[in-house]
A = this chain, B = another copy of it.
Amino acid sequence: MNVEEVIKTQKALPLGGKTIIHLQLVTNKVLESVGNALKPYDVSLQQFNVLRILRGQKGNPANLSTLNERMVTKMSNTTRLVDKLISKGYVKRNVCASNRRKVEIFITNTGESALIEMDKAIANAERELIKSFTSDELKKLNLLLDKF
């Protein structure tokens, strides 16, 4: 992906600015590809992400603040995101007995099995995205990204 070509600019961009734009373009591509992979399951990347977090809880419930902390993008209205997952039957929500301010959110069996399918789709999309990288290059890339 050549930045100058994608945004059709004739003059070379300064290195810093180019990097910033480059990151945005690559991330756009990633989000589009991953979003498409999830389309058949009618969930957004955020929703998928929440399902994965809930599975990671291994039966223990998560409350909203926990979800918010662990999501890739914080979005303040996790309530409504969970509402959507509930309406699809993928998660359940109870008021926490010991502290009625909190809620307990669980993934359902339906959610778990749907998630297994989504995992496959996402794995394919990811494999396709990084197909030009060697494992060493990916490591280098992660080390560089760590510097941000």
Contacts and interface: CB of A to CB of B under 8 A. Distances in A.
Interface of A: 1-3, 7-9, 15-31, 34, 56, 69-73, 126-127, 129-130, 132-133, 135, 137-142, 144-148
B70 A8 contact: yes
A147 B30 CA distance: 12
- The main secondary structure of chain A at its interface with chain B is helix
A94 to B, nearest CB: 23
A16 B141 contact: no
A28 B72 CA distance: 9
A81 B17 CA distance: 22
A29 B148 contact: yes
Contacts of A16: 126-127, 129-130, 138
